[in-house]
Structure formats: structure tokens, C-alpha cells
Amino acid sequence: MIRYTIARFFSLIISLIVASLVIFLVIEVIPGDPASFMLGINAREDTLAALRSEMGLDQPLTLRYFDWVIGMFQGDFGNSWTYKTPVSELIADRIWVSLPLAIYALILSTLIAFPAGIVAASRRGGASDVTIMGATQMGVAIPNFWFAMIMVLIFAINLRWFSAGGFPGWSNPLQGLKSLTLPAISLALPQAAILARIMRSSLLDMLLEDFIRTARAKGLTRSQALWRHAVRNALIPVLTIIGLQFSFLLAGGIIIEQIFFLPGLGRLIFQAISARDLIVVESVVMLLVFTVIMVNFAVDITYAIVDPRLRRKS
């Protein structure tokens, strides 16, 4: 177990290094002179010089890269050119919308998908299976931003149960949660559909395994065999998908935030793109990628808990 964790940890570090290099190259090297790129052709020479020194463009590339990385370790992401404030503050404000939204959606998606997948697998070919599979087939095909628009139309505009957008902050947690509910549902449902389908097919694969027959020969009923033996084994492939989904939820959140006017990382990054504020884009992208890599690391470690074959072998 320790050996496995350490091996995973090493690959985590390498992934982070390579990812940061890729982002650094795309943002700071490919445009040539990022400062003149950011300011456009009509920029005044003194503003340009100010931005260059702000970004440290007078220094060699390697030094800039290390400054950037070390800065991030200390919580210093540089200063936003358009907002004139530290990027870390901008991120700190908005991450409290984006992260809860992604987690909220992940919880919803799992809560919907697990029971749906298990019921469908255990009643394979039955009416509930056909209904659930039909629903997931639709769920997989619905673009989440369109689904969000329809939900706004129904629940915000017509029924007036929720507000159509905006975020009141966390001073009243219930209000905050309520305003994230429609966004979270529209993010979660398509992912839940995918997860339910994978849960079902993974379970059906497990039900064909010999050890299920052994369990039945012991006297377990069909559903006992499913719950006691198939579910835990079926979780192994499902976990991978949950890990991948978190990155989709985080990225998908960027779009959903646009629809619901949520002041999250998505809004920040779009404003930064249109203002050509590369410093913000670079930091937010790095943060997103960092989160995804960390989640995948966590999934890998969870594997070892679920599957004893990955633990230390004697």
C-alpha cells in the first residue's frame, strides 16, 4: 500500500511539472511577446514596459518559469493586468462558487446514478431497466447548457421556484445552496446518465463472473449476490469514471456559470480571455488542471482501498 501510494505520488508530481510546462509554453512562449499581445498594437511604449517588468519578461525563460512555479507555491499568482489586483484574490473569491458547484453536482450525479444503475442491472430486461436506460440515453444526449436554459424557463421563469441566476454569497448558506441548485442539477444530470450506464454495464459484467455463481451456490439470493459481491467489484471501473467526471464537472461549470450569471472561475476566465489578460488565464487554467490531477490521484488511492490486489503483495 505504501509502495503503491509512493509510486502514484511520483507520477502525480511528474504530471504537475509537465502540465505546468505545457501551460507556461502555450501562454508565455507561443505568443512571442506576451505583453504586446495582451495590450494590442496601439499600446503605448511606457505601458508596455510596465507590463513587461510586471511579467518579468526581461528575465530569461527558465527563471520566469521557476518564479511562476515558486510564486504559486507561496500563493502568489501574479497581478491581474485588467483588475489591477493579485490573481490569488480574484481566484479566492470565485473558487467558493466553482468548487462547491462541482462538488454539489458530483454528489447529485452519484446519488442519482448508483441506485439507477443498480436497479437497472438487477432487473435487467425488466420494465424499470428499460425505463432507466431510456432516460439515461436521453440524458447522455442532452447538452447541459440547453438543459439549463429549459430549467430556467420552467423553474425560474414560469414556476418562480428559483431565481434565474446570480449568487447571493455564502452569508446565508441555505440561500447560497439554493442558488447553486439549478446549475448543479443541469451539470449533474447528463453526467448521472453516463455514470448510471457505466454502473449498470459494469455490474452486468460482474454478474457474469464465476464468483457470483459461487455466491449463488452458497445460497445467496440474486439480489444478495449483487449487493454483497458484485457492487464492490463493479465500483473499480466506476471510480475511474467518477474521477474523470470531476474534471468535466469543473470544466462544464465554466459554461453553466455563464448561463446562471454565477461569479465563478468560468466568468473570470471568459472576462480574462476577452481582455487578453493572459496572467489570469494562465493561473486559472493551472488551477483547474491541478485540481483534476489531484482528484485522479485521490481516485488511484481509493482503488487500493477497494481492491486488495493493488495493495502490497506478499
Partner 1 sequence: MSLLSIEHLSLSIGDTKILHDVSIDVCPGEIVAITGESGSGKSLTALAVMALLPRGSVTDGHIFLENTDILRTSERDLCRMRGCSMGMVFQEPMTALNPVQTIGDQVAETIIIHEKTSKLDANIRATAMLRRVGLNVNPSRYPHELSGGQRQRVVIAMAIALRPKLLIADEPTTALDVTTQATILELLKDLVTEFDMGLLIITHDLAVVAEIANKIAVMQDGHIVEAAATYDLLHNMRHPYTKSLFNAATHKVILPEYIPAPPLLSVESVTRTYNLPRVTVFGSRPTFQALAGVSFHISHGERVGLVGESGCGKSTLTRAILGLEEIQEGQILLDGQPVFTKKSLNLPARRKMQVVFQDPYSSFNPRHRVDRLIAEPLHVLNDSIVGKYREKAVSKALEDVGLTPEDGTKYIHEFSGGQRQRIAIARALIIEPELIIFDEAVSALDVSIRAQVLDLIAGLCRKRQLAYLFISHDLSVVRTITDRVMVMQSGKIVEQGDTEQVFSNPQHAYTQKLIAAAPKLPEVTYNVEVI
Partner 2 sequence: MSRGLVIGAFLTLVFVALACVSFLWVPYDIETLQIPNKLKTPNLNHWLGTDHFGRDILSMVMMGARTSIAVALLAVGIGMAIGVPLGLFSAARRGSFLDEIIMRGNDLIFAFPSLVIAILITAVFGASAVNAIVAIGIFNIPVFARLTRAVALPLWERDFVLSARVCGKSETRISVEHIFPNIMNLMIVQGTIQFSLGILAEASLSYIGLGAQPPTASWGRMLADAQTLVSIAPHVALVPGLAILLMVLGLNLMGDGLRDRFDPRIKKNRT
CA distance 242 to 104: 13
Enter the DSSP assignment of 31. Answer: T
23's contact among partner 2, partner 1, none, with CB below 5 to 8 A by partner kind, is partner 2
Name 286's bridge partners.
none
- Exposed e or buried b for every residue in 178-193, given b needs 16+ CB within 10 A? ebbbbbbbbbbbbbbb
Interaction of residue 314 with partner 1, rule CB under 8 A: yes
Interaction of residue 313 with partner 1, rule CB under 8 A: yes
306's contact among partner 1, partner 2, none, with CB below 5 to 8 A by partner kind, is partner 1
Interaction of residue 3 with partner 2, rule CB under 8 A: no
Q: What share of the chain is helix, strand, coil (3-state, %, to 5)?
A: 80, 0, 20
Cβ neighbours of residue 305 under 8 Å, at least 6 residues apart? none
CA distance 74 to 31: 27
CA distance 95 to 118: 34
Q: Which of 77/248 has CB closer to partner 2? A: 248
Region from 25-33, 48-56, 90-98, 210-218 binding partner 1, contact rule CB under 8 A: 210-218
CA 243 remoteness from chain centre: 8
Interaction of residue 213 with partner 2, rule CB under 8 A: yes
Region from 1-9, 52-60, 65-73, 254-262 binding partner 2, contact rule CB under 8 A: 254-262
Residues 108-137 that bind partner 2 (CB under 8 A): 137
Interaction of residue 3 with partner 1, rule CB under 8 A: yes
Phi, then psi, of 86 in degrees rounded to 5 = -60, 140
Interaction of residue 216 with partner 2, rule CB under 8 A: yes
Residue 185: name the closest of 148, 138, 157 by CA.
148
Binding site for partner 2 (CB under 8 A): 11, 14-15, 18-19, 22-23, 26-27, 30-31, 37, 137-138, 140-146, 149-150, 152-153, 157, 207-208, 212-213, 216, 244, 247-248, 250-252, 254-255, 258-259, 269-270, 272-273, 276, 278, 281, 285, 288-289, 292-293, 296
Binding site for partner 1 (CB under 8 A): 2-3, 6, 209-211, 213-221, 224, 228-229, 232-233, 306-309, 312-314
